[in-house]
């Protein structure tokens, strides 16, 4: 378990991490999701001891490690770039942290072989990293982390430099690799889809702080604030300002729809509505669906899905739907939004319905 208590980080006058508290459980797969510069790597560096916090405490399994150097924290770190010792064989690369720890030769042999089997590196044990493909090099780095059996494993965008398909394969295996190994796994990524595929828990990072933390699918379905909704959405979530008047919500373009439940009970005024692109479709999804009209700006077709970017008043919205849909660029098209999947945020950004 890693506990962060009001941890913060400043370099000069620039705040990298605002005071943050977070508890990451052993055996869980924890994702840090955020854009470049949102503080993912800064936070990992603090936890790994590569940087010292300006304030606050870090505890790993109850032990205060705030001031400990990385080598005393019993952790592993896998980078975006394939970091291996170029002059050593794959075997020696995986064995290196064990040798440093002074482990017996026979035990090293066993642990390295086990890690190599898990990552399908057995036939490559005698090769050097530069003879391997990118995927195999990154597997070697992962095997080193597994063999070490550390308390915490930090994976800082480990798949970013791999081909799309390789990324898919390795991503599928990752949660299983570390399952039941008694480590806290922390995985940083800038891709929302990756967080969803990895599952586990996700901390949404934005501008040096954690906007929301919880089980991945849950926070995807229920973003606590507009920032969370924006960070955890790819393609970007559609949003617009609405006026709530009684049980009616209306867009600046004049389109309105009835509100029910929590949303209807809100005081009248201005709110932000947000809806994911796949809940805005070119065909009606039922009687409740709200018809929107917009001028199509760009269309994209990915084989299984069609997307359209359309201009609705001053807002740029995106629709994403299964199948092939013909759109004429520059023409007005009708889209339907499912109000059951709309989020309503107060002016301060908090989710209210």
Partner 1 sequence: MKTQNQYGWYFVLPVLLLVAFNALIPMMTVVNYSVQETFGDNVFFWQGLDWFEQILRSDRFHAALGRQFLFTGLILAIEIPLGIIIALAMPRQGFWVPVCLVTMALPMLIPWNVVGAMWNIFTLPEIGLLGYFMNNTLGISYDMTQDPIAAWVTIVTMDVWHWTSLVVLLSYAGLVSIPDAYYQAAKIDGASPWSVFRHIQLPKMKTVLTIAILLRFMDSFNIYTEPFVLTGGGPGNSTTLLSIDLVKIALGQFDLGPAAAMSLIYFAITLLVSWLFYTLMTKDDGK
Partner 2 sequence: MAQITLSNLRHSYSATPKTRDDYALKEIDLTWEDGGAYALLGPSGCGKSTLLNIISGLLNPSEGRILFDDTDVTSLPPDQRNIAQVFQFPVIYDTMTVYDNLAFPLRNRGVAAAKVDARVTEIADMLEVTDMLGLRAAGLSPDNKQKISMGRGLVRDDVNVVMFDEPLTVIDPHLKWKLRSKLKELHQRVRATMIYVTHDQTEALTFADQVVVMQDGEIVQMGTPVDLFERPQHTFVGHFIGSPGMNILPCDLRDGGAFFQGEQVALEGPASQGDGETQIGIRPEFVSIADQGLDATITKVADVGRHNVVEARVGDIEVKAILEGDTPVKGSSVKLAFRPDQTRLYRDGWIATEAAS
- Backbone phi, then psi, for 82, in 5-degree steps? -80, 100
Q: How far is the CB of 275 from partner 2 (least distance, A)?
A: 13
Strand runs (DSSP E) across the chain, as ranges?
Answer: 2-11, 14-24, 29-33, 55-60, 63-64, 75-78, 152-156, 184-189, 201-206, 209-215, 238-245, 248-250, 256-258, 269-275, 280-281, 290-301, 305-312, 315-322, 332-337, 343-345
- Residues in binding contact with partner 1, number by CB under 8 A: 6
Bond into 128 cis (ω within 30): no
- Residues in binding contact with partner 2, number by CB under 8 A: 37
> Which residue's CB is nearer to partner 2, number 5 or number 278?
278
Among partner 1, partner 2, none, what does residue 39 contact (CB within 5–8 Å per kind)?
A: none
Q: Distance between CA 240 and CA 250 in Å, rounded?
A: 10
Q: Does 165 bind partner 2 (CB under 8 A)?
A: yes
> Which residue's CB is nearer to partner 2, number 323 or number 347?
323
Distances in Å between the alpha carbon of 272 and those of 113, 225, 243, 314, 328? Answer: 55, 11, 9, 14, 29
Among partner 2, partner 1, none, what does residue 349 contact (CB within 5–8 Å per kind)?
A: none
Q: Distance between CA 40 and CA 204 in Å, rounded?
A: 9
Among partner 2, partner 1, none, what does residue 3 contact (CB within 5–8 Å per kind)?
A: none
Q: How far is the CB of 312 from partner 2 (least distance, A)?
A: 16
One residue of 6, 11, 21, 35 binding partner 2 per CB under 8 A: 35
Among partner 2, partner 1, none, what does residue 69 contact (CB within 5–8 Å per kind)?
A: partner 1
> Which residue's CB is nearer to partner 2, number 80 or number 272?
80
Radius of gyration of the chain from Cα atoms? Answer: 24
Residues 6+ away with beta carbon under 8 Å from 298: 308, 309, 329
Binding mask 47-76 for partner 1 (x = CB under 8 A): ---xxx----------------x-------
Q: How far is the CB of 52 from partner 1 (least distance, A)?
A: 5
Q: Distance between CA 158 and CA 9 in Å, rounded?
A: 24
* CA angle at 30 for the pair 180 and 185, rounded to the nearest 5°: 45
> Which residue's CB is nearer to partner 2, number 265 or number 298?
298
What is the contact surface with partner 2 in residues (CB under 8 A)?
35-36, 133-134, 163-166, 168, 190-193, 196-197, 199, 217, 220-221, 234-236, 276, 278, 297-304, 307, 309, 322, 324, 329
What is the contact surface with partner 1 in residues (CB under 8 A)?
11, 45, 50-52, 69
């Amino acid at each position: 378990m890693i506990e962060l208590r009001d941890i913060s980080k400043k370099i000069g006058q620039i705040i990298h991490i605002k005071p943050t508290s977070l508890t990451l459980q052993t055996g869980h797969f924890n994702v840090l999701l955020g854009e470049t510069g949102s503080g993912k790597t800064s936070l990992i560096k603090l936890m790994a001891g590569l940087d010292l916090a300006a304030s606050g405490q870090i505890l790993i399994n109850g032990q205060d490690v705030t001031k400990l150097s990385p080598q005393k924290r019993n952790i592993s770190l896998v980078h975006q770039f394939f970091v291996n010792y170029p002059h050593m064989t794959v075997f020696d690369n995986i064995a290196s942290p064990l040798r440093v720890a002074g482990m017996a030769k026979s035990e090293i042999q066993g642990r390295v072989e086990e890690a190599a089997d898990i990552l399908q590196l057995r036939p490559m044990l005698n090769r050097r990293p530069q003879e391997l493909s990118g995927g195999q090099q990154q597997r070697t780095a992962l095997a080193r982390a597994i063999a070490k059996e550390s308390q915490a494993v930090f994976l800082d965008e480990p798949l970013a430099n791999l081909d799309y398909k390789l990324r898919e394969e390795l991503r599928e295996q990752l949660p299983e690799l570390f399952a039941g190994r008694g480590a806290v796994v922390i995985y940083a990524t800038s891709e929302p889809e990756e967080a969803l595929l990895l599952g586990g828990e996700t901390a949404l990072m934005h501008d040096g702080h954690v906007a929301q933390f919880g089980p991945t699918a849950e926070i995807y379905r229920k973003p606590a604030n507009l920032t969370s909704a924006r960070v955890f959405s790819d393609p970007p979530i559609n949003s617009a300002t609405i006026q709530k008047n009684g049980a009616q919500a209306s867009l600046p373009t004049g389109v309105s729809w009835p509100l029910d439940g929590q949303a209807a009970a809100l005081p009248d005024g201005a709110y932000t509505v947000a809806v994911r692109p796949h809940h805005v479709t070119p065909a009606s999804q039922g009687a409740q669906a709200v018809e929107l009209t917009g001028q199509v700006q760009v269309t994209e077709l990915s084989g299984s899905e069609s997307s359209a970017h359309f201009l609705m008043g001053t807002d740029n919205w995106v629709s994403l739907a299964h199948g092939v849909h013909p759109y004429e660029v520059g023409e007005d098209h009708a889209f339907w939004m499912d109000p059951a999947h709309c989020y309503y945020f107060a002016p301060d950004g908090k989710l209210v319905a």
